[in-house]
Amino acid sequence: MVATSNAEPPKHTTCTLGVDLIVFYHPKDYENVRDVICVAKSLGISKIAIVKRPGIECSRITVWGVRLFDSLDDVIKAYQGLKYIVLETYGFSDMSLLRNSCGKRLGVILGAEDYGIPRHIVESIPDKLIIRLPMKVASASYNVVTALVILLYELMKQCASQACVSMSTSFLNRVETYVNPR
């Protein structure tokens, strides 16, 4: 259950903790694509790339202002100079590793809802950090949008000294309510 509030939403700011791009690899569910876009835009992250899933029509997605790509390689070529944080079930569980990304231009890569990103494709990504969100059950995983929100929350929390304090505090409070409802 998500708690709601009558409080005013935070004023728009350009502070994004250096996250320049969110990439969604082979999305299956339009609702997840829409929600990833909403999370990104609410934080001022305007660059969103979708790596098209074979056999899935993507024409509905283009009206949301995202760029479509045929491969993750094409995304990496189009957005050079970023350090990539890859959310994957086989990543490292140590979220403190995110601290090493503070102050850098970042791209966040999310895998397909059902099969993630194949290891051989992740291996080809330059300058990457593979993160697995900690879970008590080894085979479980979060919904892709929930995983993105948790990652951005951790990134803001760990990099708060280098971030816009007003946005960080507001976002952290909203996410804290979502992650830990009272």
User: How many domains does the chain divide into?
Assistant: 1
Q: Is residue 78 part of a domain?
A: yes
Q: Is residue 14 part of a domain?
A: no
The burial class, CB within 10 Å (0-12 / 13-18 / 19+), for 14 is exposed
pLDDT (0 to 100) of residue 172: 59
Q: Is residue 1 part of a domain?
A: no
Q: Which amino acid is at 66?
A: V
Q: How far apart are CA 178 and CA 172, in angstroms?
A: 10
Q: Is residue 41 part of a domain?
A: yes
pLDDT (0 to 100) of residue 101: 81
pLDDT (0 to 100) of residue 4: 42
pLDDT one-digit tens code per residue, 9-54: 334 344 446 889 999 999 998 899 999 999 998 888 889 999 999 8
CATH number at residue 104: 3.40.1280.10
pLDDT (0 to 100) of residue 21: 95
Q: Is residue 11 part of a domain?
A: no
Which residues in the chain land under pLDDT 70? 1-17, 62-63, 93, 137-140, 161-182
CA torsion, ordered 156, 162, 167, 172, to nearest 10 deg: 30
Q: Is residue 89 part of a domain?
A: yes
pLDDT (0 to 100) of residue 7: 42
Contact 91, 109 (CB under 8 A): no
Token pair recorded at residue 75: 């995304």
Owning domain of residue 160: 19-179
Q: Is residue 3 part of a domain?
A: no
